[in-house]
Amino acid sequence: MPKRGHKWWAFISPHHKAAGRSITYALCWDEPEAWFGLAKILVARLNPLERANLAYASLRGLSKEDRMIVYKSVENLKEIQGAPIAPWTEEIIEDADYWSRSASQEELRAYFTAIINQMSADDKKIAARHLQG
C-alpha cells in the first residue's frame, strides 16, 4: 500500500499551532475572559497581517448589521499589548523578543522595572554589563 503522505501538522509553525489551540480553548470556555485572553495570545503568536486576515474572515461571517455592531464597539479601542504570556514553546527568548517588539514604550518600561526589581543582585550585575555593552 502506498504511503498516505506527510503528516501535515508537522509543517505548521509552533506559533500557528498555539494560535489554533487558543482559539479552540476560547470557543470551548466561551467566557469573556477567554476571548480577552485570546486577543493577547493572537498578538503574541501572529503577525499583523495574519491577525488582520483572521479578523477579516471572522467579519465576513457576520451579517451587515452585526458587522456594524462590531465596528462601533472597536472604534475607540486602545492599542495595548498586554502582559507577556507564558511561552508555548521552549524558545523563551524568541517569545520574549516577539512580545517586546509588539509592546508599547509604557509597557516596556513597566515590565522592565518589575523584572529588574525581582532579579538577584548577581543577575542585576550581569544585566548592567550587558546594557553597557
Q: Which residue has the higher pLDDT, 74 or 51?
A: 51
Cβ pair 84, 93 in contact under 8 A: no
Three-point CA angle 125, 127, 133, nearest 5°: 105
Question: Is the pLDDT score of 68 beyond 70?
Answer: yes
Residue with cell string 489551540: 21
Q: Please state the rounded mean pLDDT for residues 6-16.
A: 78
Residues above pLDDT 70, as percent of the chain: 83
Q: Please state the rounded mean pLDDT for residues 6-25.
A: 83
Question: Is the pLDDT score of 2 beyond 60?
Answer: no
Q: Please state the rounded mean pLDDT for residues 56-60.
A: 92
Nearest to 54 by CA among 19, 14, 89, 11: 19
Q: Is 90 exposed, middle or buried (0-12, 13-18, 19+ CB in 10 A)?
A: exposed
- pTM over cut 0.85: no
Question: Is the pLDDT score of 3 beyond 60?
Answer: no
**Tens-place pLDDT, residues 69-128:** 888 877 766 565 566 666 655 677 777 777 788 788 888 888 888 889 988 999 899 888
Average pLDDT, the chain: 82
Identity of the residue numbered 22: S
CB-CB neighbours of 85 under 10 Å: 16
Question: Is the pLDDT score of 15 beyond 90?
Answer: no
Residue-level pLDDT at 1? 47
Domain spans, the chain: 12-76
